[in-house]
Amino acid sequence: MCLFFLLLLFGPRLVGVLWWLFEPLRWDATFGTVLVPVLGLIFLPWTTLMYVLVAPGGIGGFDAIWLALAVLVDLSGYAGGGVYRSRRGMPAS
């Protein structure tokens, strides 16, 4: 169970680093600087991966939908667990 959560936490970051090592030209064409993808992989890894996937050819059509879904996945990771935390704080009846 713990391994599963570690893979969820570090999985997209590890994929991003490996992808960056194997295809640096794609990442350079997408961002042009090192700071933005590093911060993206730290804070919004799924969005960064999706942006690298769709941005070099230009964003249009369903690309914006894929990016929006990636943003939702990243933000849900930060907001997740709120129900469980509030349930723990409820008094026993």
Per-domain residue ranges of the chain: 2-88
Structure confidence by residue, pLDDT tens digits, 11-67: 888 888 988 999 999 999 999 889 999 999 999 999 999 999 888 878 888 889 999
Taking the C-alpha atoms of residue 66 and residue 54, their distance in angstroms, rounded to an integer, is 9
- Alpha-carbon distance 70 to 93, whole Å? 40
* pTM over cut 0.85: no
In the structure encoding, which two tokens stand for residue 15, read together?
A: 């994929």
Which residues in 8-33 are b (16+ Cβ under 10 Å) and which e?
eeeebbeebeebbeeeeeebeebbee
- The pLDDT of residue 60 is 82
